[in-house]
Amino acid sequence: MTAPDAPAPPAGGSHVLLRAFADELARCGVQHACTSPGSRSSPIVLALAREPGLTCWSHLDERVSGFFAVGLAKATGTPVAVACTSGTAAAELVPAVHEAAQGGVPLIVLTADRPPELRDVGAGQVIDQVKLYGTAAKLFVEAGADIATPAAVRWIRALACRAAWAAGTGRPGPVHVNVPLREPLLPPDGLPAPAPPGRPGGRPWVRRAGTPAAGPPAGLAERLAAAERPLVVAGTARGSDGADAAAFGAALGIPVLADPLSGARRGEAAIAHYDALLRHAPFAAAQRPDLVLRIGDLPTSKPLRRWLAGLDGEQVALGTAGRFPDPDGSLDQIAPAPAGPALSALAGTGRRAAAGWLDAWRDADARAGVALASALGLELSEPAVAAEAGASLPSGSTLWVASSMPVRDAETFFPLRDDGPRVLANRGANGIDGTVASALGAAASGAPVTVHLGDVAFAYDLTALISAARHALALTVLLVNNDGGGIFHFLPIAGATDAFEEHIATPPGLDFATLARGFGATHELIEDRVALAAALAAPPDGVRVLEVRTDRAENVEVHRRCWAAVAAALDA
């Protein structure tokens, strides 16, 4: 630490060091950074904005910036840097950092701070930023950067590599580098010459050797071969794990209960409507597996989770790196190594499951699909919106689903489709905050994106649309407007009629057509399924709000009708 009356270090050292840091991030494969305005952070922002290897996305507010980075990191699978100024600005990143921690999303959070001598002494815009994100950060480093000696340049290059490797490897997650910066933030005589270059050939200062892909746990191939009724459950999966699970199930005749978030709802073995099927007690009792392989995070479906918790057969979780996905204490074995190679090795054993096991699931699933379609009819209900999104969104597009009814309706009503959209969501901490910002982050990766969300979630994050306009990003907002939180009507709290409407449902009562136009978006009220299908299939065109109006209480009835129709189809 430099005492206040010590001679000032040569001006501009922090710029030299931060330019080296940004250069090193790019060498480690970081492609994107998000910034928001401020004075103390300006040396960090300058370094990121001037780094040719990074695309920088500027945002007015840090909460939007953080969730945008989450969406971009999810869509690209690579770490995204997020820089902000000191004080409450750094605290605005808390929800995104927690989502990244819970959801396994690689972020490199760079917070500018006052130097130690200006902390807790009444200087402006200071909060305690040391370990601000607590256990959510995989790594915290206090990185004072102001004297650019050759040793300091080597240190900061190595630090950038450490931050990128820590964020992106094992179970990905957020890292926090807190950067105290002293005045003058901009040297009065202009910026000094850049740091000495890094390693030759554009390689990182510290390379990271890949971890060898491990195979399946010892003995699992034999247990799988002996199983009569093996089953795969695929939740939010990383990389190609979902596609590998679909291929594995098809190769061995093993049913794959596939959440749309897994990417496995395709192929010969995928089961789409497990949520509705497992609500039917006789079906759930008859279809008990003797071995369950779980891939990725657990799906959302409560009937599925309850059923898994009550099974006697062995349950093995593959690809869990850094996670213990066992809220019900039902796992027998946990295998951290990537799931894909383990599944490919298991598929190579070639022993197909007992004849009739997959057929029974597929037959029930097909019957459930027909029953759901006929229960829904042509009406534009909330489940119909989800079903239509699953059927009509073009291949190669991305659907971002909000953590209220949309993620559940996608799970229940999405059809099997080999060329369906990629489905993403903030299912780490399950917040409804940041839904629009994260969808925009996914759009910044270049894919056409539709975000399916309710009116409360949209109202919560409307200002993210400022970033859409500033960066000319296209986004289709599929807004289900039931004027409040429809999800709560499924819960006992709906019976507390004295407080429910005001304090739980919280109807926003907003005119979304006017709001959309205010943010430079177009607005269309969608009144039937044909119009919805056409609008969803249309090519991206700026920010479009497609509003579907529904009724919260009626929505509960539609869902009950659907579950009853599936039960009747199974009884028949």
Ligand X SMILES: Cc1ncc(C[n+]2csc(CCOP(=O)(O)OP(=O)(O)O)c2C)c(N)n1
Q: Which residues bind ligand X (CB under 6 A)?
A: 402-405, 430-433, 453-457, 482, 485-487
The set of residues, in sequence order, having a beta carbon less than 8 Å from that of 29 and lying 6+ positions away, is 78, 79, 164, 168
Q: What is the 3-state secondary structure (H, E, C) of 303-335?
A: HHHHHHHCCCCEEEEECCCCCCCCCCCCCCEEE
- Rounded to a whole number of angstroms, the minimum distance from the CB of residue 488 to ligand X is 7
* Nearer Cβ to ligand X (487/562): 487
- Rounded to a whole number of angstroms, the minimum distance from the CB of residue 81 to ligand X is 24
Q: How many CB atoms lie within 10 A of CB 141?
A: 14
- Rounded to a whole number of angstroms, the minimum distance from the CB of residue 93 to ligand X is 14
* Nearer Cβ to ligand X (369/431): 431
* Nearer Cβ to ligand X (319/486): 486
CA 35, CA 170: separation in Å to the nearest integer?
26
Q: How many residues does the chain have?
A: 572
* Nearer Cβ to ligand X (18/457): 457
* Nearer Cβ to ligand X (343/480): 480
- Rounded to a whole number of angstroms, the minimum distance from the CB of residue 415 to ligand X is 20
Distance (Å) of CA 416 to CA 249, 263, 410, 467: 14, 11, 11, 34
- Rounded to a whole number of angstroms, the minimum distance from the CB of residue 552 to ligand X is 7
**Exposed, middle or buried: residue 450 (CB in 10 Å: 0-12, 13-18, 19+)?**
buried
- C-beta of residue 207 within 8 angstroms of C-beta of residue 302: no
* Nearer Cβ to ligand X (214/496): 496
Chain residue at closest Cβ approach to ligand X: 454
Q: Is 266 helix (H, G, I), strand (E, B) or coil?
A: coil
- Rounded to a whole number of angstroms, the minimum distance from the CB of residue 28 to ligand X is 32
* Nearer Cβ to ligand X (432/532): 432
- Which tokens hold the place of 404? 């209220």
Question: Would you call the peptide bond into 184 cis, given omega within 30 degrees of 0 as the criterion?
Answer: yes
Describe the chain by its helix, strand, coil percentages, rounded to 5: 45, 15, 40
- C-beta of residue 119 within 8 angstroms of C-beta of residue 182: no
DSSP letter (8 states) at residue 502: I
- Rounded to a whole number of angstroms, the minimum distance from the CB of residue 454 to ligand X is 2
- Rounded to a whole number of angstroms, the minimum distance from the CB of residue 538 to ligand X is 24
* Nearer Cβ to ligand X (134/202): 134
